Amino acid sequence: MTKSIKQEAYTTLGKFLQTDNGSLVFGYNKNYEVTGVARTKEQLKEVIQTKGIAGVIFPMTQPHATGYDFVTGEKYKTLKGRAGDIKDYTEKENHNLYEYSTNIDEMIRENTNFIEPFMEFLDKIDASYGCITEQPVSGHNSTYEAVITLSGCRVRVSKHGTVVTLSPNYLVVHDSTKDTDINFYSTFMARVLNVDENIMKDVLVKCLQNKG
C-alpha cells in the first residue's frame, strides 16, 4: 500500500480501531454501497484494498464522522451532501418492493419468517437492537425490521434489505436493486455483531430457509 490518501486512512483509522473497542469502519463504492466492514486494523487493510472501493468512514465520532474519499483524495467529517437521505431512500425502497409485487402478503410473510429467528439470535447474543414495525401497503399485514445499534450508526435489517444509517445519510448493503451473496453478507453481519463468521452464516442460512 503506497503512501497516499489510502495510507493516511489506514494509519489514522487503524489507530481508532486499536483504541476504541467496538468501533467499525465501513468501506463503500461510488454508489455508496458497502464493500466491506472492519473491526480490526488487519481487516481495515483488507477493506481498503477491495476492488471498486471509493472511500471509508468511521462513524464512532458522529455527528462528526471521520471519512476518506479515495476518488477526490480528501478527508471529510460528514456524509451530508454525499450520500442520500435515509427518509427519501426508505420511501423509494418501499415503492420498489411493493408497488409492482404480484403477492404483497407473501413478501411480508417471507420477511417475517426471516426476521423473527434473526431477532431471536440477536437476543441470544445480547445485541443492542430495536424493531421497526410498519404497514407498507394499506390493507395488508405489517412488516418488521431489526435495527442494530452501534457506536455512531445503526444497521437496519430485513430479508429484503440491509442499510447502514449514519443520520441522516446511509450506505446500502443490499436492497431491491442491489443483491448480495451469503458469504459477503455473513462476513458483514459477523463483524457488525462481533461473532464467529461460521456461526453467523449458519444462522443466516436457517433464517433464509425458515418457512414459518
pLDDT in tens, 137-189: 777 888 999 999 998 899 999 999 999 998 788 999 999 999 999 999 999 99
Picking from 27, 48, 76, the residue at the C-terminal end of a domain is 76
**Domain contains 195:** yes
Q: Are residues 190 and 94 in the same domain?
A: yes
Contact status, residue 176 vs residue 93, Cβ threshold 8 Å: yes
User: Under the phi-then-psi rule, with left for phi > 0, alpha for psi from -120 to 50, and beta for the rest, what region is 42?
Assistant: alpha
Average pLDDT value over all residues in the chain: 92
pLDDT at 9: 97
What is residue 212's predicted lDDT score, i.e. its pLDDT? 75
Task: Count up the domains in the chain and report the number.
Answer: 2
Same domain membership, residue 191 and residue 106: yes
Are 37 and 100 within one domain?
A: no
- 47 shares its domain with 94: no
Q: Are 155 and 148 in contact (CB under 8 A)?
A: yes
Q: Which amino acid is at 193?
A: L
Same domain, 196 and 94: yes
- Whether residue 81 lies inside any domain: the answer is no
Q: Which residue has the cell 453481519?
A: 189
Which of 43, 76, 109 is the last residue before a domain boundary?
A: 76
How confident is the model at residue 60, as a pLDDT? Answer: 74
Whole-prediction pTM value?
A: 0.92
d(CA 185, CA 36): 10
Answer for the pair 145, 132: CB distance below 8 angstroms, yes or no. yes
Q: What percent of the chain has pLDDT over 90?
A: 72
Q: CA 187 to CA 40: how far, in whole Å?
A: 13
Q: Are residues 137 and 161 in the same domain?
A: yes
Q: What is the pLDDT of residue 3?
A: 57
Domain-terminating residue out of 32, 53, 76: 76
Residue 175 neighbours by CB under 8 Å, 6+ apart: 93, 96, 160, 161, 162, 163
Residues 57 and 136 both lie in one domain: no
Identity of the amino acid at 64: H
183-203: average pLDDT: 98
Residues 72 and 118 in one domain: no
- Asked if 174 and 197 sit in the same domain, the reply is yes
Q: 148 is in which domain, residue-wise?
A: 86-209
pLDDT tens per residue across span 61-111:
556 689 999 999 999 988 877 778 888 999 899 888 888 788 989 999 999
